Amino acid sequence: MSQELFTLSIGELSARLQAGSVSAVELMQAVIDRTKEVEPRVHAFNSYDEADALAQARASDERRARAKGLGDAVKRPLEGIPVGIKDVISVAGQPLTASSRMLANFVSPYDATAVVRLREAGAICWGRLNLDEFAMGSSTENSAFGPTSNPWDLERVPGGSSGGSAAALAAGEAIATLGSDTGGSIRQPAALCSVVGLKPTYGRVSRYGLIAFASSLDQIGPFARTVSDAAEILKAISGHDRRDSTSVKLEVPDYGLGIEQLSRSGRRWRLGIPKEYFGEGLDPEVGAAVEAAIAEYRKMGCEVREVSLPHTKYAVGAYYIIATAECSSNLARFDGIRYGHRSKDATDALDIYFKSRAEGFGQEVKRRIILGTYVLSSGYYDAYYLRAQKVRTLIRRDFLEAYKEVDAIVTPTSPTPAFRKGEKAANPLAMYLNDIYTIGVNLAGLPGMSLPCGFTRAGLPIGLQVIGQPFKETELLAIASAYEARTDWRSRQPRL
């Protein structure tokens, strides 16, 4: 089982593809077969196009053969690697649903920039992965096409909103995946499914072709089996894009090389432990696993010290004002006129708006549009939206203040392991509070990762969050890699 192709890392597969012991077509076929076997139980995909994926794999094998014929081996680490794509990121000619009835029949006219760059790196774009509708949720239960199951316990949620991206990887239905993270939507499902998830610094990866939820918070990032796999995907998708004016003009480092150099340098990392992240609401088993990970860092000679992020308790409140405000504005484009669902019962243009939106959006999306519209409305803007933006400034300052003393901040990713389907469905506030440790990172625009750090007695995965400094993903990855090298969590696989 552990040697099945679909369980291997990009690093391991890349070596085999280069050596010629496996072809891209064989790898893709192994992933397709595995997907057909487990998908009825996991439901990580909204759709996948087998013929298209195999055609991409054949093209990859041809590129490799051609390069060999010229005496020039293909060294691109992602050449021939199947990467699943969250169904909120455009892939030309493929469906793009955002797990919403609103876009049930939408076909992407173009590739997102991150997808263009994956293709340029030789990767195979594979499947459309399930999510909470329009990326709004923490459990993937808000999908109009049915929930995704956690491969570690099918009765439980995989987290969200990128639950399909995390579950597919954990279940062997992809070798890596892309997700998007607005308040924890990559890191939390990564934690709940025992995979690596990385949210880059805001502006590091172009958002062009990503369906906008909250534009000042959204960022595309990878799910992978190892830290160095995540580094390879990040390297491929990062960089300035003139189609996203918030993407930054900074050189993209060779992250993989950077990790190696930093680990050889024997640098003694200074890690901050924010006391506010270890209080009430933290599951004792999660707390113990994270403490054990911190102890591991101490053993390798890191300097661990307590830091304070005093405005932590306001992060969820500020986030749900800012994110819903931006969502209400972004989702105004879904009006039933140019694309998306149009009501058959509408009598005039205005009626098309009201009825198409009522029929096309699910409950959580409607709830957030209402909240966002309210906090932006006349008479309430200053009290809610403007105040939340000011609190955002204070939250960001907390982190920057802490970074005067430490290189990175280490916390739990999620206060609890995966919860049962339906457990929080009727209580939106309880669901929102599940994001308490991940949201501050988005408000401050920082890079953050989740990596596996253990399991509960019941066998549910636990994630460790490492939060880095702006645009210092290399250091963040090196710190994550140092812990990963001393542990063996990846050898545990879900029984499916």
**Given 350, 404, 488, 491, the residue binding another protein (CB under 8 A):** 350
**Given 445, 447, 468, 494, the residue binding another protein (CB under 8 A):** 445
Nearer to another protein, 200 or 454 (CB): 200
Using CB under 8 A as the binding rule, whether residue 416 contacts another protein is answered as: no
The catalytically annotated residue of 14, 23, 86, 143 is 86
Binding residues for another protein restricted to 288-317, rule: CB under 8 A? 311, 313-314, 316-317
CB distance 61 to 22 below 8 Å: no
As a whole number of Å, the end-to-end CA separation of the chain is 11
Binding residues for another protein restricted to 367-396, rule: CB under 8 A? 367, 369-371, 373-374, 377, 379-380, 383-384, 386-394, 396
Using CB under 8 A as the binding rule, whether residue 280 contacts another protein is answered as: no
Q: Shortest approach of another protein to residue 265 CB, angstroms?
A: 28
Residues 6+ apart with CB under 8 A from 91: 85, 108, 111, 112, 115, 125, 128
Using CB under 8 A as the binding rule, whether residue 444 contacts another protein is answered as: yes
Instruction: Label residue 50 left, alpha or beta by phi (over 0 means left) and psi (-120 to 50 means alpha).
Output: alpha
Binding residues for another protein restricted to 135-174, rule: CB under 8 A? none
**Given 295, 300, 332, 458, the residue binding another protein (CB under 8 A):** 332
Nearer to another protein, 168 or 220 (CB): 220
Using CB under 8 A as the binding rule, whether residue 115 contacts another protein is answered as: no
Question: Which residue type occupies 332?
Answer: A
86 is catalytic: yes
Q: Shortest approach of another protein to residue 88 CB, angstroms?
A: 16
Signed CA dihedral, 143, 149, 151, 153: sign only: positive
Using CB under 8 A as the binding rule, whether residue 110 contacts another protein is answered as: yes
Q: Shortest approach of another protein to residue 360 CB, angstroms?
A: 10
Rounded to 5°, angle at Cα 240 from 239 and 244: 125
Using CB under 8 A as the binding rule, whether residue 338 contacts another protein is answered as: yes
Per rule CB under 8 A, count of chain residues that contact another protein: 75
Residue 460: closest CA among 294, 258, 285: 285
185 is catalytic: yes
Nearer to another protein, 1 or 350 (CB): 350
**Sheet holding 124-129: strands in order across?**
45-47, 124-129, 82-86, 176-181, 219-224, 196-199, 448-455, 461-467, 408-412, 270-274, 303-307
Selected range binding another protein among 26-34, 48-56, 294-302, 439-447, rule: CB under 8 A:
439-447
Element (H, E) at 306: strand 303-307
Residues 6+ apart with CB under 8 A from 429: none
Residue for token pair 């519209």 = 373
Rounded to 5°, angle at Cα 401 from 399 and 406: 80
Selected range binding another protein among 15-23, 188-196, 260-268, 327-335, rule: CB under 8 A:
327-335
Q: Shortest approach of another protein to residue 159 CB, angstroms?
A: 21
Catalytic residues: 86, 161, 185
